Amino acid sequence: MILSLPTLPANAQANLDAIHERITKAARAAGRDSSSVRLLAVAKTFPATAIAEAAQAGQRAFGENYVQEAVAKMDELANAAPSYDLEWHFIGPIQSNKTRQIAERFDWVQSVDRIKIAERLSEHRPVHLPPLNMLLQVNVSGEASKAGVLPDDLPQLASDVAGLPRVRLRGLMAIPAPESEVARQRIAFANTKRLFEQLRAQLHLHSGGSQVDVLSIGMSADLEAAIAEGSTMVRVGTAIFGARARRS
Ligand SMILES: *Cc1c(COP(=O)(O)O)cnc(C)c1O
Indicate whether residue 44 lines ligand 1 (CB < 6 A): yes
Q: How far apart are CA 55 and CA 237, in angstroms?
A: 14
Please indicate whether residue 223, judged by its CB atom, sits closer than 6 Å to ligand 1.
no
pLDDT digits (tens, 9 = 90+) for 145-188: 789 999 999 999 999 999 999 999 999 999 999 999 999 999 99
CA of 234 to the centre of ligand 1 (A): 9
In whole angstroms, give the CA distance from residue 27 to residue 171. Answer: 20
For residue 6, what pLDDT is reported? 38
Integer angstrom CA distances of residue 90 from 46, 133, 224: 15, 10, 23
pLDDT at 202 over 50: yes
Q: Model pTM?
A: 0.94
In the prediction, which pLDDT does 205 show? Answer: 65
DSSP state of 36: G
In order of start, what are the domains of the chain with their CATH numbers?
10-241 (3.20.20.10)
Render pLDDT for 122-136 as a digit per residue (tens, 0 to 9): 999 999 999 999 999
Distance 229 CA to ligand 1 centre (A): 18
Mean pLDDT, the chain, rounded, equals: 92
E strand or H helix at 233: strand 233-236
For ligand 1, atom 12, which residue shows the shortest CA distance? 91
Strands (E), 67-192: 87-90, 108-112, 132-137, 167-173
Residues 146 and 138: their CA atoms lie apart, in Å, by: 9
For the stretch 207-226, pLDDT in tens is: 655 689 999 999 999 999 99
Return the number of other C-beta atoms located less than 10 Å from residue 33's C-beta: 10
Dist CA 41 CA 164 (whole Å): 28
Smallest CA separation from ligand 1 atom 4, residue: 237
